């Protein structure tokens, strides 16, 4: 197995007496597709926020591509290749779909400070944006404002923005949440097409999706890792079943 692209060592976060992440040890290898599951309030989003730097850990460390990034800001982690999508759409709603992607491309290419437009450069970036949109079947929507898109397509724009940043590690926070089952097909296709050298960590409640793609599954409960293994191992794990179906509680 290749060296992990993303690792955490004893990552811990507590607010006063309340512990939301308990000494989490985790690693993710390039080219793998891992799922993070757990009941509501298990600390999945907290874990992602710790990984991306939105909240600082109480102790422990985050290693990205062999480098300790625990003290780095959100944006420098992004620049080093850790990119996330959001559970609730956090797109730039009044911009067009293409502009959403261009915004990310500009930042990725270090163009964000350019105070004057350059038509030639613009064309190149536009082409790149449409190339990404094409992969997600969004190219026909490029000129539409995001808020005009159906929700399912908006979720795809979310992924398009992430891909524009050329991630090494992609954290997907419930990419299929809020999408009618009839529309999940596109998401599935997109996930299938993701490059094989990318490491993907997906938080998802849709077990169809999880079991279809994940090579490994981590189950988080009350801020701690309850189980980690292949989908088969997890599906047959009694503790996990209990957590999900409420076994062990006597009525």
Partner 1 sequence: MSGIERVKSISASYPGAAASSTWRGLAMGRTGGDLAIAVLLGLGALATLLFGEAYWLLGSQVAITMIFALSVDLLVGFAGIVTLGHAVFFGLGAYTVGIASAHLGWTEPLSGLLLAGVVAALLGAVTGVLVLRTRGLGQLMLTMAFASLVYEIANRAKPVTGGADGLQGMVIAPILGLFEFDIFGLTAFLYTLAVLVAVVGLAVLMTRSPYGRSLVGIRENRVRMQAIGTNVQHRLLSIYVMSAALAGIAGALLAQTSQFVGLNVLHFSLSGEILIIVALGGAGRLWGALLGALVFTLFKDRLSALDPAYWYFWLGLLLAVIVLFAPKGLIGLVDRLLSILHRKESL
Partner 2 sequence: MPDDLSLHKIRAGYGATVVLEDLSFDLAAGSKLSIIGRNGVGKTTLLATIMGLTRLHAGRIGLGDLDVGALRPNRRAKAGFGFVPQQREIFPSLTVEENLLVGLRPGAWTLARVYDLFPRLRERRANMGNQLSGGEQQMLAFGRALLTNPRVLLLDEPFEGLAPVIVEQLFQALLRLRDEDQLSIIMVEQHAKLALAFAPRTMVMSRGRIAFDGDSGTLIDDPARLDALCGIGGGLH
Neighbours of 98 (CB within 10 A): 23
Q: Output the smallest distance, CB 48 to partner 1, in A.
A: 11
Distances (CA, A) of 182 to 27, 137, 185: 34, 16, 7
**Selected range binding partner 2 among 64-72, 108-116, 187-195, 237-245, rule: CB under 8 A:** 237-245
- For position 92 contacting partner 2 by CB under 8 A, the verdict is no
Binds 52, which of partner 1, partner 2, none (CB < 5 to 8 A, cut-off by type)? Answer: partner 1
Nearer to partner 2 by Cβ, of 74 and 242: the residue is 242
Q: Which of 16, 17, 18, 94 binds partner 1 (CB under 8 A)?
A: 94
- Please report which helix (H) or strand (E) contains residue 236, including its range: none
- For position 117 contacting partner 2 by CB under 8 A, the verdict is no
Instruction: Give CA–CA dist 162/126, Å, rounded.
Output: 16
Please answer whether residues 180 and 155 qualify as being in contact, where contact means their C-beta atoms are separated by less than 8 angstroms. Answer: no
* Strands, E assignment, 16-51: 18-28, 33-37
Task: For the segment 43-82, give every residue that binds partner 1 (CB under 8 A).
Answer: 52, 54, 73-76, 78-79
Please answer whether residues 97 and 138 qualify as being in contact, where contact means their C-beta atoms are separated by less than 8 angstroms. Answer: yes
Which residues make up the interface to partner 2 (CB under 8 A)?
A: 37, 39-41, 147, 151, 174, 177-178, 180-181, 205-212, 222, 231, 234-235, 240-241, 244-251
């Amino acid at each position: 197995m290749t060296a992990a692209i993303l690792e955490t060592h004893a990552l811990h976060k507590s607010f006063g007496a309340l512990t939301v992440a308990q000494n989490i040890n985790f690693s993710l290898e390039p080219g793998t597709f891992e799922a993070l599951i757990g009941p509501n309030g298990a600390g999945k989003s907290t874990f992602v926020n710790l990984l991306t730097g939105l909240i600082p850990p109480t102790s422990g460390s985050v290693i990205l591509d062999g480098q300790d990034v625990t003290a780095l800001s959100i944006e420098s982690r992004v620049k080093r290749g850790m990119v996330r999508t959001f559970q609730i759409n956090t797109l730039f709603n009044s911009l067009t779909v293409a502009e959403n992607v261009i915004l990310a491309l500009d930042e990725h290419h270090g163009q964000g400070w350019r105070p004057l437009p350059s038509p030639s450069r613009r064309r190149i970036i536009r082409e790149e944006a449409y190339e990404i949109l094409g992969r997600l079947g969004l190219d026909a929507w490029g000129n539409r404002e995001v808020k005009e898109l159906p929700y399912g397509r908006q979720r795809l724009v979310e992924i398009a923005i992430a891909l524009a940043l050329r991630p090494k590690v992609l954290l997907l926070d419930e990419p299929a949440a809020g999408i009618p089952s009839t529309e999940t097909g596109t998401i599935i296709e997109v996930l299938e097409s993701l490059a094989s050298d990318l490491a993907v960590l997906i938080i998802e409640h849709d077990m169809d999706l999880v079991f279809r793609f994940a090579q490994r599954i981590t189950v988080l409960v009350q801020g701690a890792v309850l189980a980690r293994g292949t989908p088969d191992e997890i599906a047959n794990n009694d503790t996990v079943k209990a957590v999900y179906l409420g076994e062990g509680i006597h009525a």
